[in-house]
């Protein structure tokens, strides 16, 4: 019977710049969950990756541009935060009703270019990691080093969606996993060839992980077991639709 388990990892300390996050996660596993299986998928919240990597900005050191000042004044925002959002963006997709939807330098399209003030001390904001795939790869290397077993990693964040309420977790960085599974060319039970069924497995894994991460504050890592069939090669980059193929950019 097909079954997966999703478990939140307790026991992580508050993460600060310079922390060896992969080592801290391995230590938490050793203290609490104890076992690691081949094919376990570690989903790690972007927020702690950014903190460990120093992708954090002190707002006192930001001088807002006139455009940032103007938008901030019109929408009761902190002009320094708006300035950081502009700097993190390579394209503004929508900027209406006080909401900024931006394409980041990585190509992610999300609110505020991923700049976020939650779960950091007052006066600071976090940025998305500069290279989430490299972050995932480093975490994976550390976990394989600690346990001697092949595991996969996902760096995840919560993104809003057009047309639907609420945010869901998606995969920014991926290592050791096929993020997309292509069923095109497979036959359905009626012998019909499936035409457009490419599943975004890594995003679904990130969403599954969020269900246990959120439950208890302070568990920004979850482990998915039983999904070994998707172990393989791939990147989070593969989940970003190229602008040339996008009807909404």
Cα–Cα nearest to 208, from 183, 192, 230, 234: 230
Cα–Cα nearest to 110, from 176, 203, 43, 201: 203
Q: Is 35 in the site for a second copy (CB under 8 A)?
A: no
Q: Is 247 in the site for a second copy (CB under 8 A)?
A: yes
CB of residue 57 to a second copy, shortest distance in Å:
15
Q: Among residues 60 and 195, whose Cβ is nearest to a second copy?
A: 195
Q: Is 97 in the site for a second copy (CB under 8 A)?
A: yes
Residues 6+ apart with CB under 8 A from 121: none
Q: Among residues 89 and 138, whose Cβ is nearest to a second copy?
A: 89
Q: And the tokens for 222?
A: 């979850």
Q: Is 165 in the site for a second copy (CB under 8 A)?
A: yes
Span 120-139, contacts to a second copy by CB under 8 A: 120-122
Mapped onto helix, strand or coil, the DSSP state of residue 16 is coil
Q: Is 2 in the site for a second copy (CB under 8 A)?
A: yes
Q: Is 49 in the site for a second copy (CB under 8 A)?
A: no
Q: And the tokens for 139?
A: 């975490």
The binder of a second copy chosen from 17, 35, 70, 197 (CB under 8 A): 197
Per-residue b or e along 43-60, where b marks 16 or more CB atoms closer than 10 Å to that residue's CB? bbbbbbbbbbbebbbebe
Q: Is 199 in the site for a second copy (CB under 8 A)?
A: yes
């Amino acid at each position: 019977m097909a079954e997966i388990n999703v478990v939140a990892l307790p026991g992580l300390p508050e993460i600060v710049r310079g922390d060896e996050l992969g080592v801290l996660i391995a230590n938490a596993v050793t203290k609490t969950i104890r076992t690691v299986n081949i094919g376990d998928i570690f989903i790690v919240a972007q927020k702690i990756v950014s903190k460990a990597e120093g992708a954090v900005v002190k707002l006192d050191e930001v001088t807002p541009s006139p455009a940032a000042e103007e938008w901030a004044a019109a929408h009761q925002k902190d002009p320094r935060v708006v300035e950081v959002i502009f700097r993190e963006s390579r394209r503004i997709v929508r900027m209406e009703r006080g909401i900024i939807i931006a394409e980041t330098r990585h190509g992610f399209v999300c609110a505020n270019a991923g700049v976020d003030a939650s779960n950091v001390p007052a006066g600071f904001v976090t940025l998305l990691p500069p290279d989430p795939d490299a972050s995932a790869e480093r975490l994976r290397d550390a976990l394989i080093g600690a346990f001697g077993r092949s595991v996969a990693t996902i760096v995840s964040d919560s993104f809003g969606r057009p047309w639907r309420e609420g945010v869901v977790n998606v995969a920014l960085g991926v290592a050791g996993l096929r993020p997309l599974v292509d069923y095109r060319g497979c036959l359905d039970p009626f012998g019909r060839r499936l035409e457009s069924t490419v599943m975004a497995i890594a995003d679904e894994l990130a969403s599954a992980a969020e269900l246990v991460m959120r439950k208890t504050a302070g568990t920004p890592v979850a482990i998915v077991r039983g999904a070994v069939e998707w172990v393989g090669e791939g990147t989070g980059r593969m989940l970003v639709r190229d602008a040339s193929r996008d009807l909404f950019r």
